[in-house]
Amino acid sequence: MLDLETPSPAPETTAEPGASAPADRRYRTLRQAFRWDLPERYNIAAACADAYAAVQPERLCLIEDRGAEPSLSMTYGTLAQRSRDLAAGLARRGATRGSRVAIVLPQSFEAAIAHLAVYRLGAVAVPLALRFGPDALGFRLARSGAALVVTDAEGLATLSAVSTPLPALTGIVAVDGAGAGIEAFEAVERDGRGREAPMAETSPDDPALLIFTSGTTGPPKGALHGHRVLLGHLPGLRFHHEDFPQARDRLWTPSDWAWAGGLLNALLPSLALGVPVVFTRARFEAGAAFELMARQKVRNAFLPATALRMLKGAANPEALAAIDLRTVGSAGETLPAATQTWASEALRASVNEFYGQTECNMVLGSSAAYGVSRPGWTGRAVPGHEVAIVSPDGDVLPPGETGTIAIRRPDPVMFLGYLDDPQASADKFRGDWLMTGDQAVMNAEGDVRFVGRDDDLITSAGYRIGPGEVEDCLMAHPAVQLAAVVGKPDPVRTEIVKAYVVPMEGTIADAALAENLKRFVRERLSAHEYPREIAFLDALPLTTSGKIVRRTLREEARREAEDAALR
């Protein structure tokens, strides 16, 4: 049972998970005993900073890795005080309960401080990625109605090119200093020192966070979450990081804190559980990642499958011996069985997959310590969440049938709704089931095997093909370093399977290799799943956290098909 009535600091150490009961029984016992017990009042800033600052102000909470330079760190006492000061400064600039404040920053002390300052005021944080271009940034700022933007020099450069009208925007705060119409982050923080910034009396259902969806099925929508979203994530984090926190636990992820993955799968729940969070401003690179994990004594990591594949390509005996991981969580894309098996053995750590989406995150997961670990399968319902595979009408399907992953409401991790779009919010449900749109199959034991996201699924000659299985097969070939599979429009088959492959260094990427790979997949999977076209690339398009941007590849394949049709 997770006691959520009194959100007190996690202890410095906890006992190692017991092994007296069979592992699968541990999961069933945990699930049966679990009860949600939400308090009447809850604020993310209080849970992530003030609770620890009151009793252990010198406890470490954030560590910035700076490569060859000495790292910098922050304590809970400092985080609480600086977020309190910034909140008072932002309040003097018009931020109040319900105000939307855009945070356009990289992983940094300032990003964490800004988030907690916004929650402290009862305002709504709108995290946005620095990699957004002017159109994407402008759309989200306008759609959110952001009154203030907190950013840095890179964000300012993009903001200056935004042509979208932003009538709600009244102020810009920049980490890198002041300018015309721009206030320095330090000055705003300093202006708030000594001024009263009381913690807003918020309930778990009060709005706290607006995260935009990826926009794969239309314009991005703003998913509005209450303060309860943090409480909703804690069971999942404790589950797939195996009784998190343990002694010496220290978490790192390359996932941008502007996304649900970095913010809600790593930063905020780790702070709430008293686990130091390591971050760096450097872009993900596999060799450097090994060095960072060794240098910072990282015990827990959140890494998408592509990042794990990249680590495999950079792994060597010295790098592997230098790290001391306990657990690895992986999400955001399907974790192939071969990748999970390699990572578990080579990294000497439990590698546990989990699943969710912006609207309702971390509801499925695996956990080796609880006997829920089956390579190629995502896992089972995390304690506290009811998950089923349903038909398009919302009827629960029997084991073995493919359908849509659905989560039953009410659920603390579930969004409040889409911002200013009640119809889209209603359309997300069939009765009490939130429809994810993602396809999967569940066996009789409750294990879920992910088939594919609706936008990733390939329809070819009447077959529906999930790209993960084809990618997994390609990755088993010794000549393949990375692979991504998409559907390419085809006048006869609707779509054909097209693979984009990064070959191993020193490999001759020619027509003979392409034919070899096609035959390799056809012999191991089926005649309808093998890639009919293969393109060799030097690199795949990746996010800052090392996740393949399949949308870019789908667009490239679509353009190829259109050009071919014109010839």
Amino acid (one-letter) located at 255: S
Please check the confidence at residue 219 and state whether its pLDDT lies above 90: no
pLDDT at 4: 35
17 falls in which pLDDT band (50, 70, 90)?
very low
Confidence grade of residue 6 (pLDDT, cut at 50, 70, 90): very low
Helices (H), 296-381: 305-314, 317-322, 337-346
* 255-313 confidence digits (pLDDT tens): 999 989 999 999 999 999 999 999 999 989 999 999 999 999 999 999 988 789 889 98
Residue 404 falls inside a structural domain: no
> Which of 202, 217, 234 corresponds to the end of one domain?
202
Residue 182 covered by a domain: yes
| Residue 2 domain-assigned (yes or no) | no
* pLDDT level of residue 462 (50, 70, 90 thresholds): low
Concatenated DSSP letters of 203-256? -TTSEEEEEE---TTSS--EEEEETHHHHHHHHHHHHHTTSS--TT--EE--S-
* Residue 262 counted as domain residue: no
Q: pLDDT value at position 476?
A: 87
Mean pLDDT of 449-478: 80
**Alpha helix (H) ranges present in 352-464?**
422-427
Domains identified in the chain, total number:
2
Residue 153 lies in a domain: yes
Residue 85's CATH number: 3.40.50.980
User: pTM, whole model, 2 decimals?
Assistant: 0.83
- Which structural domain range is residue 129 located in? 43-57+76-202
Assigned domain for 98 exists: yes
pLDDT tens figures, 182-218: 999 999 999 999 898 889 999 999 999 999 986 544 5
Residue 304 lies in a domain: no
Q: Which of 50, 37, 48 is nearest to 4 (CA)?
A: 37
Q: What is the pLDDT of residues 298-320, one digit of tens each?
A: 999 999 887 898 899 899 999 99
Cβ-contact 94, 147 below 8 angstroms: yes
Name the pLDDT band for 524 (thresholds 50, 70, 90). Answer: confident
Cα 79 to Cα 49, 270, 306: the distances in Å are 6, 14, 33
Confidence class of residue 470 from pLDDT cuts 50, 70 and 90? Answer: confident
Instruction: List the CATH number of the domain containing 555.
Output: 3.30.300.30
In a domain, residue 281? The reply is no
Residue 450 — φ and ψ, nearest 5°? -70, 130
| Tally: H helices and E strands in the chain | 19, 27
Query: Which of these three, 174, 202, 230, is where a domain ends?
Result: 202
In this predicted structure, the answer to whether residue 381 has a pLDDT above a threshold of 70 is yes
Q: Which of 202, 228, 252 is a domain's end point? A: 202
- In tens, the pLDDT along 391-404 reads 999 999 999 999 99
* Banded model confidence at residue 387, pLDDT cuts 50, 70, 90: very high
User: Quick check: 134 and 161 in contact, CB under 8 A?
Assistant: yes
Share the mean pLDDT of the chain.
91
